[in-house]
Structure 1
């Protein structure tokens, strides 16, 4: 099989869909890997690194002409003309928040497998987990920076200074990303509150932090009360494949302290606040009432070296399976890979995506 790895075109997206070690494994299995020239440079991999492991360097067209295209982020509009019926696309898609891309995939008849809905025997989302971990950790770093005066914030340090009240950090959603955000915020000395609908999740936070983290059931009233005193809010609500529920209202945001920051990790799936709108690394923030909103749709792209390696470690076994068996057979043989199938034969086949798009 011919596997293509394109250069990512999303704003400031420096990750790449495969590292040289992955190329070597695919070549060992008898496959041809075509890397777009310069695709790996943002993650620290030069063309020569790929060539030394058996890859061919090609143009954008060469890559998209392959049987299987593996990338990181969803195709942007300029890439839609490359979509076709005999193509298998394997990447993050987030179609619940991308109706135009969904229509392009359906019209082209492309077989589209989304990283974010591939499952595992443990019941988790193994291809989403590493990026959620990175986004969760970056969210607190980003929020802490935006609270400083040079960044236009109120001039607050996240915490840890004797005699000064710590910053109040509220994490809405205690999943993988939320847990990482809590870990960093606690480490920096903030006063941290977690809201989640699952009491078992809250109980786990109580046990891990021995009561040092406040845990509260996520209800509209509780969210309203906590946000009124929160200087930094991390939105990390996830419903696999579906649009993120808008659990934070405009009224909640307007009640927050002047200069407070909201980092919406859930923006890839539409965002979990009523004011969330996609932003980019080039233009990451906007104001809503008293709040600075950060809604960058490819947060892990800020740490491309770490993110590329972490993602490649998880995706490669599935890529090898797709290449060795062909997409149709691989999807039949692996129910967890099949859970990632979003579009096939000119229709959306993932139920949560269909519901989110009203299909």
Structure 2
């Protein structure tokens, strides 16, 4: 029996951001994506690799993702004659690491498979909702007054939760200012992107006074032990992001007491099927999950929204509208309803495809293969 894949296209695309976005890892003014298009059976499927242009969030980066896909992952995928998304991880298991590149291929196979079956991604996952509440991530701003203006604008748009990026020197003052301006009822959380050490525990404890939903990834990504020690010192729940790279690592973090909440990013954990396994594991242990964002285009954003419609996602995710980051998305924009929710896509597969003209306009490199 022949496989599902008849042709492959890998594109590197760059979209300018509406405004610079700063975290403790640096400042971005544009987002570089790697998109994968798979064709077969008269249909096509799309996947988005969330690796960044530089290896600052993780060791993966876009040019490396393209190379590993072309040189190692795609040959294995084609040779294995994969027919479903469940076949992808076993086919690629011989390649160590590169979860974001693997996740993009898995999503493309899944999108193609579901389009051929006429099934939406949300249906496939077992989603229980048709709308999910949307939170928004606010980068480090040049001043506290500028931050208050930005937060106020997002609240006026209807976003249900605010996440503030923090780093040493930009933590207590901005959080205090947001609380004072917008009140204790605002669902508020912070994200450190591993910018602190356990020696900063006394400072991080001072965040307890602000009634935060959670403190996300304060310490280094590979140190569950120190996160467990820090969790004992805080009343605010600790949330892990970069530390959770698989269901196995999620189980270890939960058993050690290193986290009470998990930010699930499908690209970081190797794909949406592993993301669903983490959701199931966390739910079984009473651990809350929410869906993080990586400044995705309308493709990855819609896939994340479908995932976030699962019952264990009890906190608003970074499932913001397209115009949070982009004046022009590659697909029909994801929009925010007046009450701060986004609609779960219902069309086959991801439920959208890139506009050909926009795709051509923003593509900087393309590689193709046909069997």
Per the TM superposition, whether the score is higher than 0.5 is no
The TM-score, its normalising length taken from structure 2, stands at 0.30
- Bigger Rg, which one: 1
Q: Which has the higher strand share?
A: 2
TM-score by length of 1: 0.31
Highest relative contact order (Cα 8 Å, sep 6+), 1 or 2?
Answer: 2
